[in-house]
Structures are given as C-alpha cells and as structure tokens.
Structure 1
Amino acid sequence: MRAQLLLAAVLALATAGSVQGQTPVRIGVLNDRSGVYADISGEGSVVAARMAVEDFKAAEKGLKVEIVSADHQNKPDLGASIARQWFDREGVDAIFDVPTSSVALAVHHVARERNKVLVDSGAGTADLTGTQCSPNTVHWTFDTVALANGTGGAMVKRGGDTWFFITADYAFGEAVQRDTTAVITGRGGRVVGAVKAPFPASDVSAFLTAARQSGAKVIGLANAGGDTITAVRQAAKLGITEGGQALAGLLIFSSDIHALTPRVAQGLVLTEPFYWDLNDATRAFSDRFAKTFNGKKPTAAQAGVYAGVLHYLKAVAALGSARDGGRVVAGMKELPTDDPLFGKGTIRPDGRKIHDMYLFEVKRPSESRGEWDLYKTLATIPGDEAFRPMGEGGCPLVGRGSVVRLDRAQP
C-alpha cells in the first residue's frame, strides 16, 4: 500500500510539474569510451540512458532531461576532474555508469562533496557501499562480493578448492581477489598463489604459465573487459583447460563472450545480474537496444544505466527538483525499484541495490543457436544471498535513518 501511495505521488507531482513548467535535469554518462571497457559501457550506456528517458516519458511528467557524456580513460584524476567540471560549471545533477573501481571511488567522493548523485553500474568494488559509503551514491548492478559468492562459491562446490589469481593491479582487481578469497577459505578451500598484472595488460602469458605451474585447480581471473578477453584467449593457446585446470572469470560480460566466441570460452562459469535472453521483458528491451546500437545486445552495465536512470527520474519527479542530491538518493531508497530488466528490488540504506544474480555457463558451439546465444543458466542466486549483509560492510550510514520521506522539494 505504501509503495502504491508513493507511486501515485510521483504521478500527481509530475502532472503538477508539467503545468507549472518543466524541471531541468542534466545527466552525465561517464565511462570508458576508448579503452578496455568501451564495449562493456561506452556509447551503449548513453543509448541506454536515452532509452530510459524516452520510456519514462520525462517531458510528459514535467522533466526536461539532457544527457551529456565523457571518456574518463580509466584515470581516477581525470574522472574526478570531469565530475567537478560537470557539477560546478555545466549543471550536471547526476552521473551514471563509471566503470573502473578506482575512477568510481574518485567520482563518488566528488559527488558527496558537491551534494550531487552517483548511480554506478559499471564498477565492482563493494567498498562503495562499505566503509566508504555515501548518502549520495547508489551502487546498482553488481559488486565484488556478489561475484565472489556466485562464481567463487560455485567453483569450490564443484571441487575447485585450490586457486591461483591473476589480478589486475588496481582497486577492482584487489577487491575481487579479497572478496573471492574470503569465500574460498570460508568454504574450506585455499589460495596457493597470486600475481598482479599491469592494467591494462596486452600479454599475460607469463602469469598464466605461473598459474599452470602452481598446480591450482582453478585460475581466477580478477580482471575485466579487454584484460579478461586477452587472458582467456592466451589461456586457450597455452592449453590451460586441456591440462585439467579451470578458468574462473570473476567479472565477465556478454560482450566479452561475444568477442571470444563460445568456441574459445565454452564451459567458462561466470556470474551476471542481467542477460538479454532471461525473459520476455529482457528480450524485448534488448531487441530495441540492438536496433539502435549496431545490432549489439546490451551488457549488464548498460542495463544498469537504463534501470538506474528510470528509478532516478521517478525520485526527481516526486521531489520536483534534482538540485539536492542527498534528498534525491534518499527518495530513490524509499521508492521500491521495479523495471523490466532487473524486476522488483530495493535500495538499502548503504546504497546497495538488491536484485537476483545468475550463475551462467558459456554454451558449447553446438548448443548456441546464434551470434548472441551465449549462456545457459545454472542457478538463480537471490539478492539477499548474493550481496553482503548490510551489517557486515562497515557503512557508517547504517542505523542512522538515512532514508527520508519523499516530500516535495522547495523551489
């Protein structure tokens, strides 16, 4: 009943806004548009944001929404500089996407300083909703704990109780190795070795050789995007899996598997929160997206941008303003989430968006019916099991009553 009243308030306030004049909202999509994560996010995330504005019918609800975009080049200093310029001089109210955990953490702090909004769908570090949580950030799509619980837990259950990590040398790699190690050791396994690979890495063959010589049953790839593609391709050339070791991709996107093809990636186990072929709603959205974006199906990060923008606009419409980022995020937390890509969910006081995760296995070429038919579903992991319990993250917002009522903002 409360949710119905809140949604009714959104519609009523939006109607009032359309009578009084449109509320300006400026959204910035900040991501990697030229490097190893460009296929994961890039221009596809801008397409997803525009689709969300269109589907929300923002103009009819009294909002005048503009979208700008920029390339952070996977550099924390550059990402923070763009965020400051957008917030201070270009009237941006909220930033979306931001893959690369080190960049996300930098932008996260700028958003808090300026009392603006960050809805992150591309970065993995669970620290965004842990000890470094902020009343101005929502972490939408996945995080290192959920990936560790999914892929790490599944591999140990299958008998993969000794691990060797190849870890990208930046915040995400360190976080996913840390969180996966906790899952492995908590279930009776052990880590026999690890190496840090430069980011980005064009050649990891020496690291793969070290992993093979370690005798570990599982080689954990604590990297993403182009780095993961490189590692899987080079592992295939070295005959790693033929030698009896398993590869575990700790952050794999459908665009990575599409680039690799099932012939190279078959049998790889991975965890994602979204796949284009999950159900009728995801297929319908993905078909529309592909028609707009060169025939490509959306990644989980791009889906997160779409869903995050939809929910953000609901909160802005209810408040009648996008100016106060803290109040907008508080409104996002109070409204239950519901969209065609992730279904029904919630945003916790620590900023963690909760929804199901899925354990997938890459199909064999003989099982794939087409270019984008990549996964078979092994298990659905309920959101409350996939993500870290809120009380274990160390977020100082927990227990402080950070969620407030959606009262309309004063002009």
Structure 2
Amino acid sequence: MTFLGGLKAALLGSALMLAAGTAQAEFTNNAIRISVLTDLSSSYSETSGQGSVVAAKLAVQDFGGKVNGVPVEIIPVDHQNKADVGALAARQLIDVNGADAFVDISNSAVSLAVQELARNADKVVLHVGSATADLYGKACSPTGALWLYDTYALAQGLARSIIAEGGDTWYFVTADYAFGKAMEDAVRKILEAQGGRTLGSSRHPVNNTDYSSFMLQAQQSGAKIVGLANASGDTVNAIKQAGEFGITEGGQKLAALIFYIQSAKSVGPELAQGLRFMTGYYWDRDDASRAFAKRFAAEMKGGMPSQAHAGIYSAVLHYLKAAAATGSDAGTTVMAKMKELPVEDFFAGRATLREDGRLMKDMYLVEVKKPSEVTQPWDLLKVLRRMPADEIIRPLKDGGCPFVKS
C-alpha cells in the first residue's frame, strides 16, 4: 500500500464520532471535523500524543457532541515530528477527509507548514504544543491562533527571572529546528539587553540520545547557566546526562526553556529539584484545575494532564462556541468570532484572543520540589508567581503580522 493510501485508511479508521445529528446547510460535509495533528509515536508523545486526543474529546463531550445539531468528529493523526509528513497529512485531511480545523501540532516546523496550507484552504489552526512566535508574527494567518506558550513569552518570563538572580552567562544546548533556534535567539536578545553573555552553544537533532559531548562543552565553557532549548524526551535525556557529568554539582545551573510535569516526573525530583520553568497550567493549582485533571486521568488510566493537554481542551471548546455562534465552519468566519468572544475556562481564566491570533493568557513560574517536599506521585511543582500576559507576551505592534492594522 502506498503512503497516501495507508494514511487515508488510517485517517478514515481513526475518526472518532462523538455524536450524531441532523446536518445543516451552513456546515460542509454534514459534520464539524477537527484533526488532532500531533506526535503520537515520537519524543513529544508523552506531553501531547494520545493525551491531546483525550483532551479534545473531553471538550467535545462537554459541549454536547454537536454544533447546532451537527455532529462533531475528532480525527487523530501522527505527524511523526516531520514537517513534510505533517504537511502531507494536513493536505490529505483537507482534500479527502474534509477537516475543518487542526489542533495541537506540537512541533513548530510542522505548525508553520500547516498554517500556510490552512490559510489557503480557509481552515482554522489552533497551535497549542508549538512555540515559535512567528505563528502570530511574520507567519501569522487570519485562521491561525497560538494558545499556550511561545518563544518570546518563555524567554521573557524565565530568562529575566534567572538573570535577575545572577545567572548572566549561558551555554545553550539547542534542538536543531524552528523552535530550538527561535528559543535560543529570544534568550540571547534578553541576555544582551541585560548585560549578560552567551559563552557558546551546541545543536542536536530531535530525538537525540547522546548529550555527552554537549555537556562536556557546556561544562568547559564555565557558563553559570546551561540553557536547554529543546523539549520533552530531549530535555529529559539532557538533564539525566547533565547529572552524570555533575553539571549542577559543579556549581552550574540548568534552565529548561520549555518543560512539562511529565518531564519532571521522568527525570525525578532528585535530579530536577530546583529547576524552574514556565507553564500555562498545573493540575494542583486550584479546584477547577484538579477537577479537569481527575477526569483526564480517568480517561488515560492514570497520569496528570500536561499544560498542552489543558490548552487543547480550552482551544477546542472555544472553537466549538464560535462555530455555534456563527453557524459556520468557514475558517475566517469562525476565527473572527473566536476573537470577539471571551475565552473562559479553567485553563485560561478570562482571556482574550488578540487580533494577530495570540491568546492573551497569564502563565506561571514554577519550581520542581525537593524530594522531601513531595507528598504523592504527581505532587512535583510549586507555583512561585503568576506572570501576567501583558508583561510576557510580545506587544502587538512588534510582531510584524501582515494583516494587523498599524
């Protein structure tokens, strides 16, 4: 069977029908079809993956399974962390499966490719696990939205706090693709502005396993901070090998520029204790967060939701509200309504979706607890402070989004 033939069969077979109803003329294909385009088999599958599918399913269930009597379908697809595979899958979903919207993506390179396809096809893209700020900047789209973190916000929130505490020399270990490069560049700019210095950097491919040479170079650089501009499994492997090289024992500190509670659990508090990172959601922050986590864990047979999983729930729910309000699945129409309606849920609080497609949502600076502070398997983080959206997210005027009015 050809790749396209196999993909078509997999897509048709993986569609999850959550409700049935009477179709209305405003909705094409007699359904609302949302593809969870994500990493189901590679290094980001733990923090996105099947959990992203579950989160989207929960949002559809909470909305009632229908939009104005039209059934909602969730179509999970694995992009394998490859931009070409993701773009091919997106094209197949649009042309053959009639997808109306894409959610998660979880890879910046794939997001950039899919955003362009979706713009041309008038389909909505809700980027949750992808972080390049170009998605609401020079590569913005009238049908695209960025729902969780981005390289600019992560750098502003985390780097500034570390530099303020004396961490003014950095060595970077960076994933060699769009997110990693953008993340490193964003921190470099803040370092330079604050009088700090970059003492070197190393690049590695996604799904790398051997960080020994990179950690040796970081150690020899004498930098106070070793910045990990990678994600998920790559970050976990880097932290574990940093422990083997005695990086922190030698007085250097690690900064995970994008990190998840799943990664903290994989590393363990013995190695990760004191590690600070930015997050849009923590399961034990308040009653509403705990309620979602309980439902999610029941569906996943254990395990807490990541910040991406919580963001996917929020993005899908808001999309369905806008589709219902407009009576349409046209991308530009639905996205315009998404920007008019306030975003209100346990994840976003009360937030707004800006003209350039950036969700103006607060984030949290958190720290991994010491082993002696942990009281249960997922009691791993403590929230240090809330970081207001307008302090960490790039100003609208500075983004360079072509369709934003000056």
Shared fold, TM over 0.5: yes
1:39-64: CA deviation from partner (whole Å, max 9, x where unpaired): 01001000000100111124374231
What one-letter code is carried by the residue in structure 1 that aligns with 2:57? R
What one-letter code is carried by the residue in structure 2 that aligns with 1:331? K
What one-letter code is carried by the residue in structure 2 that aligns with 1:398? V
Which residue among 353, 361, 370 is the counterpart of 1:355?
361
Match in the other structure for 1:368: 374
What one-letter code is carried by the residue in structure 2 that aligns with 1:193? G
Residues 119 and 60 (structure 1), Cα distance of their counterparts in 2 relative to 1, 3 Å cut: closer
Provide the C-alpha distance between the structure 2 equivalents of 1:123 and 1:175, rounded to a whole number of angstroms: 12
Contact 1:22 1:62 in 2 (8 A): no
TM-score, reference length from structure 2:
0.92
Alignment partner of 1:241: what SS? coil
Q: CA deviation at 1:187?
A: 1.8
Match in the other structure for 1:242: 249
Residues 60 and 222 (structure 1), Cα distance of their counterparts in 2 relative to 1, 3 Å cut: closer
Contact 1:336 1:346 in 2 (8 A): yes
Confirm whether residue 124 of structure 1 aligns to residue 108 of structure 2: no
Match in the other structure for 2:266: 259
Q: CA deviation at 1:200?
A: 2.1
Which residue among 344, 350, 356 is the counterpart of 1:344?
350
Match in the other structure for 1:142: 149
Matching of residues 98-109 of structure 1 within 5 Å: 98-109=105-116
Which residue among 86, 93, 98 is the counterpart of 2:93?
86
Residues 351 and 21 (structure 1), Cα distance of their counterparts in 2 relative to 1, 3 Å cut: closer
Contact 1:361 1:378 in 2 (8 A): yes
Alignment partner of 1:242: what SS? coil
Match in the other structure for 1:45: 52
Alignment partner of 1:85: what SS? helix
What one-letter code is carried by the residue in structure 1 that aligns with 2:120? E
TM-score, reference length from structure 1:
0.91
Choose 183-192 or 337-346, whichever is displaced more.
183-192
Provide the C-alpha distance between the structure 2 equivalents of 1:82 and 1:59, rounded to a whole number of angstroms: 25
Provide the C-alpha distance between the structure 2 equivalents of 1:282 and 1:172, rounded to a whole number of angstroms: 28
Contact 2:174 2:203 in 1 (8 A): yes
Which residue among 298, 315, 323 is the counterpart of 1:308?
315
| Structure 1 unaligned blocks of 5 or more | 1-16, 401-411
| Structure 2 unaligned blocks of 5 or more | 1-20
Which residue among 34, 39, 48 is the counterpart of 2:41?
34
What one-letter code is carried by the residue in structure 2 that aligns with 1:236? G
Report how many residues are paired.
383
Contact 1:22 1:64 in 2 (8 A): no
Which residue among 66, 88, 91 is the counterpart of 1:59?
66
Contact 1:18 1:60 in 2 (8 A): no
Over the aligned positions, Cα root-mean-square deviation in angstroms equals 1.5
1:215-270: CA deviation from partner (whole Å, max 9, x where unpaired): 10000000001100000000111110010000000000111111111112111111
Give the % identical residues.
49
Which residue among 262, 282, 292 is the counterpart of 2:289?
282
Match in the other structure for 2:3: none
Q: CA deviation at 1:341?
A: 1.8
Contact 2:168 2:191 in 1 (8 A): yes
Provide the C-alpha distance between the structure 2 equivalents of 1:371 and 1:61, rounded to a whole number of angstroms: 42
Choose 140-149 or 190-199, whichever is displaced more.
190-199
Confirm whether residue 151 of structure 1 aligns to residue 158 of structure 2: yes
What one-letter code is carried by the residue in structure 1 that aligns with 2:401? C
Provide the C-alpha distance between the structure 2 equivalents of 1:153 and 1:238, rounded to a whole number of angstroms: 27
Provide the C-alpha distance between the structure 1 equivalents of 2:25 and 2:235, rounded to a whole number of angstroms: 48
Contact 1:22 1:63 in 2 (8 A): no
Contact 1:233 1:264 in 2 (8 A): yes
State the 4+ residue runs in structure 1 displaced beyond 4 angstroms. 17-23
Residues 325 and 377 (structure 1), Cα distance of their counterparts in 2 relative to 1, 3 Å cut: same
Provide the C-alpha distance between the structure 2 equivalents of 1:182 and 1:333, rounded to a whole number of angstroms: 30
Provide the C-alpha distance between the structure 2 equivalents of 1:255 and 1:145, rounded to a whole number of angstroms: 23
Contact 1:63 1:317 in 2 (8 A): no
Contact 2:67 2:320 in 1 (8 A): no
